[in-house]
Structure 1
Amino acid sequence: MRRRVLLIGSGEVGAKHAQALLRTGGLELVAVADPAPAVAPPAGVPLLKRWADALHRFGPDVVVVATPPGIALDAARAAARDGATVLVEKPVTLDPADLDPAAEDGRIFVAFQPHFAPGIPELLDQRPPIRRAEVTLVCRRDRAYYRGWRTLHATAGGVLHQQAIHGLALALRLLPCAPITSCTADVHRVRQWAESEDRITATTTFADGTVLTVDARVDSHEERRHEVTLHLDDGQRLRIRGRNLEAGLGDPLAAPGDLQLRQALYRALPTGGTSPAHPSVFPLSELCRTLEVIDHAYRTARTVPEAGTAA
């Protein structure tokens, strides 16, 4: 029996979900909801303007929410209250206070497909003792990316919310859950295409002595990479590699593609109850700590003056 899926949001990310859902066995994309779709839904798939109407009309088993943060949490919680299993795109919300527990949150999971990369499920299942984690992001975002809701930090957040969150969330799931004792961060804004920064570096220290560092830049012409390096208590070092972590702990030349990772994510969603059976499934409740660390970094960050103008 196929699970009926409603997709909320038909922008760049929503379109990727639509194509992956169509190619995943056991799932049927029954409708797309978006008042102003940037990408047309696949042929034969109905388009509705209001997600509330789509929930009522189709009664889906699964809802995928691929909307900006200002919409995502309300849509996800409404779908979960209707009994659907919900997969919502990051960052879901920019304010960690929004994630104060709600009864329906147990049915909501966050879309981090790189967490299904080779070796990552086993790593999340074993949770080895880690004393330091380093997140590195190097990519290039052009002017066209910063448009609409992505123009303002209040509606899109920064590099840590939009790009580096995959690695940050993974590192924070693996580090012990201890309070923040200190955080230093530097923000670099050179091109000034939006309120978001071109680069941020941050070091966060926790009460148990563990440390998380991040160096994330979206203005680089270097080869794209998003990696997490884990320093274990026994001196061993684990490196999770790829353009977006997709090689995991395996061979970068044999890394799965985006479609494979999305399909693994869809298939891992629980079919009954609210408890995920797969270690890589990321419950909404666990996102709160990631947003708290990101929020702390931005609130304590200093802006580094640099020469440069928009190209």
Structure 2
Amino acid sequence: MSDRRYRTAIVGTGGIAVAHGRALKDLWHRADLVAVADVDPTRAKAFADRWDVPHAYDGLAELLDAQQVDLVHLCTPPEQHAPLAVQCLRAGVTVLVEKPPTLSLAEFDEMVEAERLSTGHVATVFQHRFGSAANRLRRLAAAGDLGRPLLATCATQWYRDDAYFSAPWRGTWESEGGGPTMGHGIHQFDLLLSVLGPWIEVTALAVRQARPTDTEDVSMALVSFDNGAVASVVNSVISPRQTSALRFDYEHATVEVEHLYGYDDKDWTFTPAPGHDTLLAEWTADGQNVPSGHAAQIEAVFDALDRGEPPPVRLADARRTMEFVAALYASAFTGKRVRSGQIGPDSPFTTRMDGAGAPWKEAASP
């Protein structure tokens, strides 16, 4: 392991930036947070004071002009992710982008092209991939110890009241890119996809049940996978009893996790099928208990940079998740099944997640 400490910066000092600041403080031996930037200079200064950051700027351009940094953490509202990430790449700086990485597949592919021309890289924050239990599950599944994957369920049922959507960028296609599919459930079904691998087909619905938004507040999908598994996915911001739950039924075991915004090993249960009791010992054998969270992913980013490799989650992996989002909306708004690879450059769902517009928008027109 390298003794190098990476010079890092945070752009956007709202709520999610606190998770990045805390993670970098925990990783002080590997990272030096040298600068922050925000369009609100007062907020940038307050954040810098809280986390003992020596420099605060009112924009990314000023920060990049003044500082030599190895990694920029993008914690801005979603509509700014793609343009700011491209700006970092043009400066040859690696960037860690909060979810969703872009508002559309078209934006995502522009970022892919910018990375191709840069010495820098883009990683997307999908921190639930990085807990020790998720790593253990992928390892046992890849080894074939669990047998064939048969069935999975994925539920992100959260509660956000009307006041939550008073922030002008929330609940709009133009600024947030979507509703709970894009901004809330994406963490859980990204973990689902990281375990089950390539998906084949999506059948979905999306509805606006209660919240004063342009986007959906509930979506549901049925998904089939390359390996023969099938899954259901639910995303909600109208559920008073909040939960984030995943269940994987394999031939030889059921593996489950229920948590809210992050898990550790105590949140997981492992149930072997009759005749496969020895699997429980394999599940507990490594003795690790690394919680999911920003610290786990950021440490994995530094590990990759130490090895001279692109950091996780790489663009190819994140695109599979973003294509799933686009397919869910396309199926929901057209009433048709959507296959992987079907949303091409000419599809309206390439440039906007709502395609030609959500059905309720049309219904509300005079």
CA positional deviation for 1:296: 1.3
CA positional deviation for 1:81: 4.1
CA positional deviation for 1:89: 0.4
Which of 149, 169, 180 in structure 1 is aligned with 2:169? 149
CA positional deviation for 1:74: 2.4
- Distance in 1 (CA, whole Å) between partners of 2:228 and 2:294 is 35
Residue 236 and residue 140 in structure 1: after superposition, are their counterparts in 2 closer, same or farther (change >3 A)? same
CA positional deviation for 1:163: 0.5
- Distance in 1 (CA, whole Å) between partners of 2:151 and 2:222 is 10
Matching of residues 276-291 of structure 1 within 5 Å: 276=311, 281-291=312-322
Residue 201 and residue 178 in structure 1: after superposition, are their counterparts in 2 closer, same or farther (change >3 A)? closer
Residue 191 and residue 105 in structure 1: after superposition, are their counterparts in 2 closer, same or farther (change >3 A)? farther
1:115 equivalent in structure 2: 129
2:195 equivalent in structure 1: 174
The reply to whether residue 6 of structure 1 matches residue 4 of structure 2 is no
- Distance in 1 (CA, whole Å) between partners of 2:197 and 2:129 is 18
CA positional deviation for 1:15: 2.9
Range with greater deviation from structure 2 (22-31 or 125-134): 125-134
- Distance in 2 (CA, whole Å) between partners of 1:67 and 1:8 is 7
2:108 equivalent in structure 1: 99
- Distance in 2 (CA, whole Å) between partners of 1:41 and 1:299 is 40
CA positional deviation for 1:271: 2.1
Retained in 2: the 8 A contact 1:138–1:218? yes
**Which sections of structure 2, spanning at least 5 residues, go unmatched?**
143-147, 269-287, 334-357, 361-366
Structure 2 residue identity aligned to 1:229: R
Q: Going by fraction, where is helix more abundant, 1 or 2?
A: 2
Retained in 1: the 8 A contact 2:149–2:228? no
- Distance in 1 (CA, whole Å) between partners of 2:199 and 2:38 is 40
The reply to whether residue 22 of structure 1 matches residue 25 of structure 2 is yes
The reply to whether residue 75 of structure 1 matches residue 91 of structure 2 is no
SS of 2:174's equivalent in the other structure is helix
CA positional deviation for 1:82: 3.1
Retained in 1: the 8 A contact 2:94–2:120? no
Residue 34 and residue 295 in structure 1: after superposition, are their counterparts in 2 closer, same or farther (change >3 A)? same
1:309 equivalent in structure 2: none
- Distance in 2 (CA, whole Å) between partners of 1:255 and 1:149 is 37
1:32 equivalent in structure 2: 36
- Distance in 2 (CA, whole Å) between partners of 1:16 and 1:207 is 35
Structure 1 residue identity aligned to 2:64: L
CA positional deviation for 1:226: 0.8
1:271 equivalent in structure 2: 305
SS of 2:239's equivalent in the other structure is coil
The reply to whether residue 252 of structure 1 matches residue 252 of structure 2 is no
Retained in 1: the 8 A contact 2:132–2:291? no
SS of 2:260's equivalent in the other structure is coil
Structure 1 residue identity aligned to 2:129: H
CA positional deviation for 1:188: 3.2
**Which sections of structure 1, spanning at least 5 residues, go unmatched?**
306-311
Bigger Rg over Cα: 2
- What is the TM-score with the length of structure 2 in the denominator? 0.72
1:51 equivalent in structure 2: 60
Aligned length: 293
- What is the TM-score with the length of structure 1 in the denominator? 0.83
Range with greater deviation from structure 2 (157-166 or 82-91): 82-91
CA positional deviation for 1:257: 6.4
Residue 32 and residue 118 in structure 1: after superposition, are their counterparts in 2 closer, same or farther (change >3 A)? same
- Distance in 2 (CA, whole Å) between partners of 1:292 and 1:57 is 37
CA positional deviation for 1:208: 5.5
